[in-house]
Amino acid sequence: MEIIMPRSSLSRRKLILLAGGAAAALAVGYLGARKLLDGAGRYASDLAARTRGLGQIKKLPGFVGERPNVVLILCDDLGQGDAGAYGNRTLRTPNIDSLAREGVRFTDFYASASLCTPSRAGLLTGRYAIRSDLIFPVQSGRQPFIGRVLQSVARWLGRRGAFDMTRASFVDGLPDGEITVADALRTAGYRTMAIGKWHLGDFHVEPRYHPLRHGFDEFFGTPNTNDELPNPLYRNETMLEDDIGLDQARLTGMSTKEAVGFIERSGAAQPFFLYLAYHAPHLPLYASARFKDKSKAGIYGDVVEELDWGVGEVLKSLRDKGIERTTLVIFTSDNGPWYNGRPAAERRGRKGQSFEGGFKAPLIARWPGHIPAGSVCAHAAMNIDFFPTLLSLAGLGIPGDRIVDGKNIAGLLTGKEGKTPHDAFFFYHHEQLEGVRAGDWKYLHRVNHYEWPIPLDKPTTFLGMAAQDRFLGSWPNLYNIATDEGENYDLASRHPEVCARLEKIMTAWESDIAENPGGWTGK
């Protein structure tokens, strides 16, 4: 039920309180306001939790499979519709398209969040980011004080409906107790490397967030996203540059060179896991001279076509090394596109939104001899599935001391299974659960539009209640994704029984999260 505040309740007293609250937020500052408002540190983050969990990862009984090398290529803000394999006729992506011809292309694949940090946390841990408290993109640890204060004020106002900034992450980086896929694969003898954008904690300020503390043997890249400055460049734990600044046209080439070098150094006896997290095509957009002004889609197209070149160089190195057939290559993105890019045909929404365009991402996977060439998977999956899937391919079970939300989708990759292993997918906007999908039905209890009219379509916020007579939204929304993937036609009034069933699923999920936020099983 929505409670609408009568116009008369927008009193002088409440306006004074609103102004006073803004002043208080300024006085408290970023860190103080965050502790007061967010209750930071709710989750277990000690190293003992990781040690315990790793000790519970057991070899699968009777496993005799071939443990593949894994190259996981993660793009930043690339739309599902930006590659030719997904119907794009403007951008040239021959190398990405070749992966689809030689492997499987998923048409119904979700990131676990529509923003960078929470999506990456989900990908690497197999758990929704709400469990690790990484609900919002983490900031540079050296952000100027005035920037922190202004963000604190913006979040205070955002919780009242003025901006799409409500809370920072409850923690500053990936908690020590989380187990990454790299952590787990190392127990099976894998050599591991992370390249590119980390964005799971500024380890320049807090070393415990460094990838080398989270399962990776080697690292080359930056702690922050490319619009969060200062952003230093590191090789392992050695800082090469204090700040990459805006000299970013080199980043794709540098990351590609490092990836090729890692593959060339690999030995046949030891499998490897390479996590290649390109900075591109996240804003700001820069292309090297070889690709600048060469595409038909402006600077964004230049950046994507250079990204495709990088993919081609990685694939060539696997061929030259003679390990193409023993390597699983995964290509995906952390969320939907932002201001540029193509979400996909008919997809509504973009990065930061719970509509399909914000969460849907490309997924192409190739493993010759195991994944049928040229296949298409129309069954729903999510990037939290990588964790249990890659562990199973390495002959490992999942840790029993925590809930792992992802499911093993090896059968979907190989075509041996014909349905999604998920009963439901959950769509978070920061810390707020906005929707759920079960089967073909997608239910949005309420959506933060993050576009005009921002204050007027949130009836639970101060400004939304005050502006009731101009309220333009209608909640909840219900869409049949099978027949309306663009979420154009709301069917909530026609199927109230479906709404009630999905609302019940959401309520039960939120109750479980409230009772056990970190998903610890006590085993």
The catalytic site residues sit at 116, 199
Residue type, 173: G
Pairing of strands 218-222, 233-235: antiparallel
User: SS3 letters for 157-206?
Assistant: HHCCCCCCCCCCCCCCECCCCCCCHHHHHHCCCCEEEEEEECCCECCCCC
Q: Name 51's Cβ contacts closer than 8 Å, sequence gap at least 6.
A: none
- Contact between 237 and 226 under an 8 Å Cβ cutoff? The reply is no
Q: Is 311 left (phi over 0), alpha (psi -120 to 50) or beta?
A: alpha
List the structure tokens of 418: 């014909």
What is the 3 state secondary structure string of 351-401?
CCCCCHHHHECCEEEECCCCCCCCEEECCCEEHHHHHHHHHHHCCECCCCC
Name the residue with tokens 């495709």: 308
Residue 147's alpha-carbon distances to 30, 33, 311, 376, 450, in angstroms, are 9, 14, 36, 46, 21
- The residue written with tokens 């939290």 in the block is 384
Within 244-380, residue ranges assigned H as helices are 251-265, 298-321, 356-359
Tell me the three state secondary structure of residue 454: helix
Strand ranges in 16-134 using DSSP code E only, listed in sequence order? 69-75, 104-106, 109-110
Q: What CA–CA distance (Å, rounded) separates 253 from 347?
A: 31
Partners of 437 in the beta sheet? 425, 442
